[in-house]
């Protein structure tokens, strides 16, 4: 499975599969809040990788970021890392 698929499926609302574990930020109580939190986490993770990590990893010659922008990007990944760290892992 590709990295993009893993990021998209990690917070998926679907049940875990043999080759696809799931992360849960809260118990599935069937609420709109549960669905919203996980949908947001999926989108945020994809956005961090597509908008921050990938350009900086795949493009040569990009100018160095000003310190405040680099810190903002680091903060975004810090939020994502905290969510992943706090999440429960569901496996089959």
Q: What is the pTM of this model?
A: 0.82
CA atoms within 13 A of residue 76's CA, in its CB half-sphere: 17
Q: What is the pLDDT of residues 23-61, one digit of tens each?
A: 999 999 999 999 999 999 999 999 998 888 877 666 677
Give exposure, 3-16, as e/b (b: 16+ Cβ within 10 Å): eeeebbbbbbeeeb
Q: What is the pLDDT of residues 65-74, one digit of tens each?
A: 899 999 999 9
């Amino acid at each position: 499975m590709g990295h993009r698929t893993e990021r998209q499926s990690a917070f998926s609302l679907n049940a875990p599969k043999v080759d696809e574990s799931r992360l849960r930020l809260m118990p599935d109580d069937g609420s709109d809040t549960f669905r919203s939190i996980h949908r947001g986490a999926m989108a945020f993770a994809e956005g961090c990788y597509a908008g921050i990590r990938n350009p900086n990893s795949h493009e040569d010659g990009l100018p160095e970021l000003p310190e405040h922008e680099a810190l903002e990007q680091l903060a975004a990944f810090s939020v994502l890392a905290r969510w992943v760290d706090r999440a429960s892992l569901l496996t089959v």
